[in-house]
Structure 1
C-alpha cells in the first residue's frame, strides 16, 4: 500500500490512502477510524508519520479528533479557496445544488450603498443555497437594475455569475470582510435547524476586470458545512 522507495513522501501516500478509504465508505461519516497504533501496524510506518498524515486531514476538515475517544470522519464541508461562484464549487465537488429564492424585488438603493451604486433602483435578491437537500448558505445580493436588464425569479434558480456573463460582465475578484455570527432564532428558521451552531458571514464587493463593483453580497454560511480558505501573501517591498 505504501511505496517507501517512491519520491512521494510516505505521509502523503498515507494521507491519500486514508482519504480514498473514506471516499469508498470503508470509514463513514461519524465513524471512528483506526487508532494511530493500528494504522502504524497496518501500514508499517512510524506513529509520527501517521500523526502527520492525520494532522493534515484534520486541518482540511476531513477528520476531527475527540479527546479520549479517537479520530472521526467529518461530514464533508463545502470548501472555497478561489474566486469561483458557489454553483461552480458545488458542481466540481459532484454534489447537487438547489437555489431557493426567498425574496426578489426592486427597491430604492439603500443609503449605505449610494456611494457604490449611484442609481435609483437595485435588485434585492435573497436566496438559500441548498446542497444535497441541506441549506448551507443564505445570500442577500444587491445589484443595480441598470446593470442587468431583465432578471426574473426563474433565472435566479441558476448561477448569478452566469446571468452576469450574459450581460457582458466578467467577474475578476472580490473585496470581503469576514466575521463570526451567532445563530439566533431568525437564522435557525433560515437554515431549518433547532440547535445553535457558529455561522460565518462575509460582506463582499464583487468586482469586474475594469475595477467596477457589479454587486454587493452578504453571505451567511454554516461553519460546520462550509470552509473558506484565504491565501495571504506579502508583496515585495511592502515591508522593509
Structure 2
C-alpha cells in the first residue's frame, strides 16, 4: 500500500478497506481479516488498525463482535457530499442518476453573487449548469454550478448527466481541485424545491455554498447545493 506524504496511516487503511467494501470485494456478512492479519497486510500496529476499524464501524460499514471480529454490514443511508471529491464519489454503493436541468452554457456572472470574484473572473464570465441527482431513485440533490470560464474550450459539449464534473475537468482540461471552503445550514424548502424533491413545502433541506480552488489561477468552481435529507443523512470522515 502506497502511503501519501502527510496522510495518517490509519486513514489509508480505512480508505482501502472502505474501497474494498464499496466495490464488493468484501460483501455484506463477510468477515474482515483479523487485526493481526491486517497489521501484517499493512505493515502497521494494532492501534492503527483499530482506529481504522473504528471509523468503519462509526459509518456503519462493519459491526465489530467480540470473539468473532469485524463483519461487513449494510451501510446506513449516508451520503458523503461534504467531501471535496464531489457527489459521484460521495454516494458510495448507492445508485446515482443525474437529470440535467440546465446544460452547460456560457453566461455572465449574476449581478448579486454570494462569493467575491476577482477582476479577471468578472471579465471572463462563467460556465453555468444545474443538475438534479437521484439517489436510489429518490430526488435528493439539486446543484447549481458556476465555473470561471478560463481555458475551457468546448466544455459545453460535455455530457454532465453521465460523467463526473471533476473527472471531465481533470481529464480534458487538466483542471484539478486543490482546496476549498463550504458553508452549510438548514433552510425551509421553497415551493420550487419542494416540487423538485417531492416533499412538503417548508420542510427542512440542507443548503451548502461551496467555493473550490483549482490548480489554474483564477479558475474557481462555485456550487450551490440543496439536499433532501428525508431519506438520507449526510456523513463524511476526516
Residue 150 (structure 1) aligned with residue 150 (structure 2): no
Residues 217-232 of structure 1 correspond to what in structure 2 (within 5 A)? 217-224=223-230, 225-229=232-236, 231=238
Match of 2:65 in 1: 13
Residue aligned with 2:169, SS: helix
Q: Contact between 1:101 and 1:153, CA under 8 Å: does it hold in 2? A: no
Residues 105-116 of structure 1 correspond to what in structure 2 (within 5 A)? 105-111=105-111, 112=113, 114-115=117-118
Q: Using the TM superposition, give the Cα deviation of residue 174 of structure 1 relative to its aligned residue in structure 2, in angstroms.
A: 1.5
Question: What is the RMSD of the two structures over their aligned residues, measured on CA atoms?
Answer: 3.0
- CA gap 1:226/1:150 in 2 versus in 1, 3 angstroms: farther
CA distance in structure 1 between the partners assigned to 2:95 and 2:173 by the alignment: 26
Q: Contact between 1:138 and 1:221, CA under 8 Å: does it hold in 2? A: yes
Residue 102 (structure 1) aligned with residue 101 (structure 2): yes
CA distance in structure 2 between the partners assigned to 1:210 and 1:152 by the alignment: 19
CA distance in structure 1 between the partners assigned to 2:159 and 2:109 by the alignment: 22
Q: Using the TM superposition, give the Cα deviation of residue 212 of structure 1 relative to its aligned residue in structure 2, in angstroms.
A: 4.7
- CA gap 1:115/1:217 in 2 versus in 1, 3 angstroms: same
Larger radius of gyration: 1
CA distance in structure 1 between the partners assigned to 2:85 and 2:79 by the alignment: 12
Residues 199-214 of structure 1 correspond to what in structure 2 (within 5 A)? 199-209=205-215, 212-214=218-220
Residues 152-231 of structure 1 correspond to what in structure 2 (within 5 A)? 152=156, 155-157=159-161, 158-165=163-170, 166-194=172-200, 197-209=203-215, 212-224=218-230, 225-229=232-236, 231=238
Aligned residues between the structures: 170
Q: Using the TM superposition, give the Cα deviation of residue 211 of structure 1 relative to its aligned residue in structure 2, in angstroms.
A: 6.7
CA distance in structure 2 between the partners assigned to 1:203 and 1:138 by the alignment: 12
CA distance in structure 1 between the partners assigned to 2:129 and 2:98 by the alignment: 11
TM-score, scaled to structure 2: 0.60
CA distance in structure 1 between the partners assigned to 2:133 and 2:182 by the alignment: 19
1:135 to 117, 135, 139: 139
Residues 47-62 of structure 1 correspond to what in structure 2 (within 5 A)? 62=76
Match of 2:123 in 1: 119
CA distance in structure 1 between the partners assigned to 2:157 and 2:199 by the alignment: 26
- CA gap 1:210/1:145 in 2 versus in 1, 3 angstroms: closer
Residue aligned with 1:148, SS: coil
- CA gap 1:164/1:189 in 2 versus in 1, 3 angstroms: same
Residue aligned with 1:118, SS: helix
Structure 1 residue runs without a partner (length 5+): 1-5, 24-59, 63-75, 232-240
